[in-house]
Amino acid sequence: MPHQSASAHDLTGTWRIALPRRGGATIVTYLIFHGADTAFDGTVIINDAVEIPMRRPHFEQGEGCFSIDWNADYRVRREDDRLRVIISPHRGDSEETLADRVPAELTRPVAPAPLPAFVPLPPNGLALSPPMGWSSWNHFADRVDDRVIRETADAMVASGLAAAGYQYVNIDDAWAAGRNAAGEIIPNGKFPDMKALADYVHARGLKIGIYSSPGPRTCGGYEGSYGHEEQDARTFAAWGMDFLKHDWCSAVRIYGQSAGNLRASYLKMGRALAACGRPIVYSLCEYGYGRVWEWGASAGGNLWRTTNDIQDTWESMSAIGFSQHPHARWAGPGRWNDPDMLEVGNGGMTTEEYRTHFSLWCLLAAPLIAGNDLRNMSADTLAILSNPEAIAVDQDPLGRPAQRITVRDNVEIWSRPLQDGAFAIGIFNRGDLPARDRITWPELGLTAAPVVLRDLWLHKNLAPEASGFATNIPAHGCVLLRARATPPNSSTPPPT
Ligand code: GLA
């Protein structure tokens, strides 16, 4: 029989891509297509981890095109019984590969392991102010290695960021190789000796963090802690880890997104950390599923992501940052809402926008986890990340995140009470043109003009008028203020 060429538009079926990754891992991705001819849809499963719907699927010049959230754009072309695939990740370089057709059964998730009955964990006493540090993901993604971590620790000290309060140097995804015969998780070739690396970071007066998943695979397709929670907690403690980011990823295919399953899964690792003999800050990363802010602390968490991944754009940052007020009341010392790591200095926003990003995160009492290359920072980036007066707002011991108190056209005013009776105030302009706004003192909860009004970016005191404060705000910019209504020594307790 003559060889029959498949129709270019027939993508139907399950297709498997195997891609080698840094550190010796192989990432398996399944593309599952439904429908063909003129239209299709489907899902992408990345190494049993995430199952993501195809967005905007359509044909363009004989190629099937779609994207998947917070990850990549795909183009596929049918070549007989294979697909030629071009993947353009949102961070990193495009690559071209071939996909083979496989039976659909291959993509079945593993059977769920039983989850523990929920008994709340007591606070672990850590992270009494929002954790400050750095994480590899936003800038380095899977290019992180031992050298990057050592050089970042050095840069954190040399740049003055350590002195400004930054402490954690966190390895995000892409460090694990798999497990040894004893079931212990082992690092890949990029991390020859985790204990020695932790010692190096500790010797600089800093702390070090690691990353795993409640599922069998991390979001990048590396080894996760599924079924090995206690063993991995002991391993992380033995290496000297001080922080664990535990990323839901492949657990979603096993346990879904219900609050009950999320809480019990996170409790498993929470208990394991509590029993591992080393204080380890516990960072839950499940993108805000199941209203995590309501129960994250009872599962042992010190911080929990409230949103999907941040991108280095004004749209992403502002959409996340300005929507955080509903869960403000759940945060406090030892338990923080985490609107994701900082993008300051990564190049996708203007200096003005990065200043807005940082101001907003400080008002929100968010963890300040820098995500740029600390070894190569501009003076502007360093000045933003190390602004002591903004950091003091973030780290204020009262631990009360800001509330949005006014929205006027594109201007938003956010305010948080500070321990000494002062208020930190952000006047933000979300618009594309410069704005002018006037706030009155009663609007801020002050009965009279403040005795001290300070601009925390200009680092100078302003002269408060009796009735209020008028200011210009650049497009996408902000004015960050500290206002104290009473003299320093007669501070009244903040309202509850
Ligand atoms: C998820 C997380 C990110 C990062 C990546 C790593 O997307 O939300 O912060 O850890 O996984 O693969």
Gap from CA of 296 to ligand 1 centroid (Å): 18
Kindly state the tokens that stand for 385.
């990340």
Mean pLDDT of 193-215: 98
CA 211 to mean position of chain CA atoms: 12
With beta carbons less than 8 A apart as the criterion, state whether 451 and 486 touch.
Answer: yes
pLDDT tens digits for range 397-453: 999 999 999 999 999 999 999 999 999 999 999 999 999 999 999 988 888 899 999
Within the chain, how many helices (H) and strands (E) appear?
Answer: 11, 27
User: Torsions phi, psi of 124, nearest 5?
Assistant: -90, 0
- For 424-434, letters b (16+ CB in 10 Å) and e give bbbbbbbeeee
Is the Cβ atom of 248 under 6 angstroms away from ligand 1? no
Residue nearest to atom 9 of ligand 1 (CA): 309
Is the Cβ atom of 210 under 6 angstroms away from ligand 1? no
Beta partners for residue 481, in sequence order: 425, 455
CA distance linking residue 255 with residue 242, whole number of Å: 27
pLDDT at 472: 97
Three-state DSSP at 254 gives: helix
Is the Cβ atom of 369 under 6 angstroms away from ligand 1? no
Residue nearest to atom 5 of ligand 1 (CA): 219
Beta partners for residue 89, in sequence order: 72
Greater pLDDT, 25 or 276: 276
**Residues involved in catalysis:** 247, 309
pLDDT at 490: 47
CA distance linking residue 62 with residue 20, whole number of Å: 27
Kindly state the tokens that stand for 212.
């795993």
Q: How confident is the model at residue 488 (pLDDT cuts 50, 70, 90)?
A: low
Query: Residue 307 above 70 pLDDT?
Result: yes
Q: Which atom of ligand 1 is nearest to the CA of 340?
A: 9
With beta carbons less than 8 A apart as the criterion, state whether 71 and 27 touch.
Answer: no
Crossing angle of helices 314-321/351-363, nearest 10°? 20
CA distance linking residue 68 with residue 90, whole number of Å: 10
Query: Residue 3 above 60 pLDDT?
Result: no
Q: Which atom of ligand 1 is nearest to the CA of 218?
A: 12
Beta partners for residue 42, in sequence order: 33
Gap from CA of 109 to ligand 1 centroid (Å): 20
Among residues of the chain, what percentage have pLDDT more than 70? Answer: 96
**All residues at 6 or more sequence positions from 329 whose CB lies less than 8 Å from its CB, including other chains:** none
What's the pTM value of the predicted model, to 2 decimals? Answer: 0.90
CA-wise closest residue to 338 among 410, 286, 405: 286
Gap from CA of 45 to ligand 1 centroid (Å): 15
Q: Which atom of ligand 1 is nearest to the CA of 71?
A: 7
Q: What letter represents residue 74's amino acid? A: Y
CA distance linking residue 66 with residue 72, whole number of Å: 9
Cα–Cα separations (whole angstroms), residue 354 to 135, 150, 343, 359: 17, 26, 8, 8
Residue nearest to atom 3 of ligand 1 (CA): 309
CA distance linking residue 367 with residue 339, whole number of Å: 8
CA distance linking residue 266 with residue 305, whole number of Å: 13
Kindly state the tokens that stand for 338.
């985490």
Crossing angle of helices 229-239/259-274, nearest 10°? 40
CA 335 to mean position of chain CA atoms: 16
pLDDT tens digits for range 31-71: 999 986 778 999 999 877 778 899 999 999 989 999 997 67
Residue nearest to atom 6 of ligand 1 (CA): 173
Three-state DSSP at 171 gives: coil
Consecutive H or E run containing 260? helix 259-274
CA distance linking residue 202 with residue 361, whole number of Å: 27
pLDDT at 70: 63
CA-wise closest residue to 436 among 464, 475, 382: 475
Q: Which atom of ligand 1 is nearest to the CA of 308?
A: 8
Mean pLDDT of 465-486: 94
